[in-house]
Structure 1
Amino acid sequence: MTDEKKAGPDERLSYEQARAELASVVERLETGGTSLEESLALWERGEALAVICQRWLDGARTRIDAARQPTDS
């Protein structure tokens, strides 16, 4: 089984998709008008999306750092 097949649907979100959904979640929380239960669910979703975004950013930083390393010629 490949890593992609093992990954849940959230793990296949692109950075841009996760960021856009996170912005939507934040907007809904800031607007208010939701029940406590819905607000908690939104908060949890936002936390999960923030983790996904951070993983993408960490991966990008690793790639940039690797590309900046001098090569042995």
Structure 2
Amino acid sequence: MTIAFFTWYLLYVVLSGFARDFMAIKVLGNINVALVLGLLQFVSTFGIAWAYSRFAERKLDPLADEIRHEVEGKI
């Protein structure tokens, strides 16, 4: 997931720097490709955070609870 996100982010940066004509294409009114891709960066960030939160809740939190109970029981 990390590699995919960094690749997506790097693509945005490269396009912003070297494909200015493409990024300036109007999509709707004054909204251009650069703005849409920039907003999609936020959407993908929140999506990744949400997916990780669900993963952690299902897989990591039970393991952490188990370890905490073991440690607390030995003290």
What's the TM-score, normalizing by structure 2?
Answer: 0.50
Shift of residue 22 of structure 1? 4.2
Counting matched residue pairs gives 57
Who is 2:44 aligned against? 49
Identical-pair percentage: 9
Task: Give the number of the structure whose alpha-carbon radius of gyration is greater.
Answer: 2
Q: Whose strand proportion is higher, 1 or 2?
A: 2
1:69 and 2:65 aligned: yes
Q: Whose helix proportion is higher, 1 or 2?
A: 2
What's the TM-score, normalizing by structure 1?
Answer: 0.51
Determine which structure has greater relative contact order: mean sequence separation of CA pairs < 8 Å that are 6+ residues apart, divided by chain length: 1
Structure-to-structure mapping, 1:1-73, within 5 angstroms: 15=1, 19=5, 20-29=7-16, 31=17, 33=20, 34-35=23-24, 37-62=32-57, 63-70=59-66
RMSD: 2.9
Provide structure 2 residue ranges, at least 5 long, that are not aligned to the other structure.
Answer: 25-30, 67-75
Letter in 2 for 1:25: Y
Letter in 1 for 2:45: A
Provide structure 1 residue ranges, at least 5 long, that are not aligned to the other structure.
Answer: 1-14
Shift of residue 16 of structure 1? 5.6
